Amino acid sequence: PAMRLDVVSIFPDYLAPLELSLIGKAREDGLLDVRVHDLRDFTHDRHRTVDDTPYGGGAGMVMKPQPWSEALDHVLALDNPSGARPHLVVPGPGGQPFTQALARQLALEPWLAFACGRYEGIDERVYDHAREDLGLEVSVVSLGDYVLNGGEVAVLAMVEAIGRLVPGVIGNAESLVEESHEDGLLEYPIYTKPSSWNGREVPPVLLSGNHGAIAAWRHEQRLARTAARRPDLLHASHAGPHGDLEIS
């Protein structure tokens, strides 16, 4: 059965790229069932109001709870015979880090619903309502320590990272194996033809046909790159036989 992905946003057109290329094809192949909903369809006033000023004062605006409650009810009611429940994922700067590990976990779920916040965010009671009244698992997830204007860009990134892990979405499975962050190290440098270009040569080991030496060189490169760019990713399990993390 297709993995179901619902997205609620006041800018549904922002999610149009999900109709393209890989994710678009996976939708055609029935692997992903992606539906985008306009939050303003769940307002009833002339101005289709979705936000208001924050209680307690402060800058900016807060998204009103009622439209979100009606949008979630609509998502849950849509052709949902099994009564299954979606995992509600809300992008936000204050969330748990979105990592390849979390992407892998989410790719195993049958149904994800994404709530795209705008302004300063969503009234907290929507999270409580979703958890306590709708019985949903709710996760606030951050792409990184920076602030976007809204959740849409984050959802595009997450849907791409998750969608490509769904079996059948990516053609050759092996391309999924050797990837950054899969085993905690960054990827090694890659090369293709011509072997000499612009006076620059491809490292000879890669042309040697000596697969042991090639694998060793690639591992060394991954360690060196990770030490240089992401020392935070390095830990004891990556130490060499002498327990050293020093890169030669």
Ligand X SMILES: O=C(OCc1ccccc1)c1cn[nH]c1
Interface with ligand X: number of residues (CB under 6 A): 15
Return the residue of 91, 126, 155, 223 that touches ligand X, per CB under 6 A. Answer: 91
Q: Is 177 exposed, middle or buried (0-12, 13-18, 19+ CB in 10 A)?
A: exposed
**Region from 20-28, 99-107, 147-155, 186-194 binding ligand X, contact rule CB under 6 A:** 147-155
Residue (86 or 117) nearer to ligand X, CB: 117
Convert residues 115-144 into a mask of x (bound to ligand X by CB under 6 A) and - (unbound).
--x--xx--------------------xxx
3-state secondary structure the chain: CCEEEEEEECCHHHHHHHHCHHHHHHHHCCCEEEEEEEHHHHCCCCCCCCEECCCCCCCCCEECHHHHHHHHHHHHHCCCCCCCCCEEEEEEEEEEECCHHHHHHHHCCCEEEEECCECCCECHHHHHHHHHHCCCEEEEEECCCCCCCECHHHHHHHHHHHHCCCCCCCCCHHHHCCCCCCCCCCCCCCCCCCCEECCEECCHHHHCCCHHHHHHHHHHHHHHHHHHHCHHHCCHHHCCCCCCCCCC
Among 89, 92, 126, 162, binds ligand X (CB under 6 A): 92
Beta carbon nearer to ligand X, 97 or 189: 97
Q: Shortest Cβ distance from residue 186 to ligand X (Å)?
A: 21
Spatial distance between the Cα atoms of 198 and 218, rounded to a whole number of angstroms: 23
Using the rule CB under 6 A, is 150 a contact of ligand X?
yes
Among 5, 18, 106, 154, binds ligand X (CB under 6 A): 154
Q: Which two tokens stand for residue 112?
A: 């994800």
Looking at the Cβ atoms of 36 and 206, the one nearer to ligand X is 36
Question: Which residue's CB comes closest to ligand X?
Answer: 117
Least distance in Å: CB of 98 to ligand X?
Answer: 7
Assess 214 for contact with ligand X (CB under 6 A): no
- Residue 65 sits in the site that holds ligand X (CB under 6 A): no
With respect to ligand X, which residue has the nearer C-beta, 119 or 176?
Answer: 119
* Residue with Cβ nearer ligand X (94 or 171): 94
Measured from the CB of residue 143, what is the shortest distance to ligand X in angstroms? 4
Q: Which residues bind ligand X (CB under 6 A)?
A: 91-93, 117, 120-121, 142-144, 146-148, 150-151, 154
